[in-house]
Amino acid sequence: MTHDLLNEILKVLKVEVTRVEIHDLRNNTFFANLHLLLNGDAIIVDARPSDAIAIALRAGAPIFVENRVIEKSRNIDFGTKMTDLDRLKKEKLSEFLENLSPEDFGKYKM
């Protein structure tokens, strides 16, 4: 996969992935920064959240989400009417995500 390749390139170049920050949500689109360290210099790269998270997981780097992003995400309107089944799925997903621990991320194969 491309994320595996990028992770290997970063390792060969001795670039450390220090963290990922999901820092904004605008117009139903999330925004993220990939924080890198090269020769003691901090580098911030704008990245799609899905790519940033995939790289962070492979590099063992922490992933942070700003509180305001979480608050904004609770108000996303997808323009569709939610059925009882949809509501139940959303509640179960929320419950699952809220109960994840950092150790859980290492359990899933990429």
- State the Cα–Cα distance between residues 69 and 105, nearest whole angstrom: 21
Find the domain containing 20 and state its range. Answer: 2-76
Q: Does some domain include residue 110? A: no
Q: Does some domain include residue 102? A: no
CATH of the domain at 41: 3.10.690.10
Q: What is the pLDDT along the chain (110 residues), one digit of tens a residue?
A: 888 999 999 999 999 999 999 999 988 889 999 999 999 999 999 999 999 999 999 999 999 999 999 888 887 765 656 676 677 777 777 777 777 777 766 655 55
pTM of the model: 0.67
Residue with the two structure tokens 């920050």? 21
Confidence (pLDDT) at 98: 76
Confidence (pLDDT) at 100: 75
- State the Cα–Cα distance between residues 87 and 91, nearest whole angstrom: 6
- State the Cα–Cα distance between residues 20 and 42, nearest whole angstrom: 13
What is the number of structural domains in the chain? 1
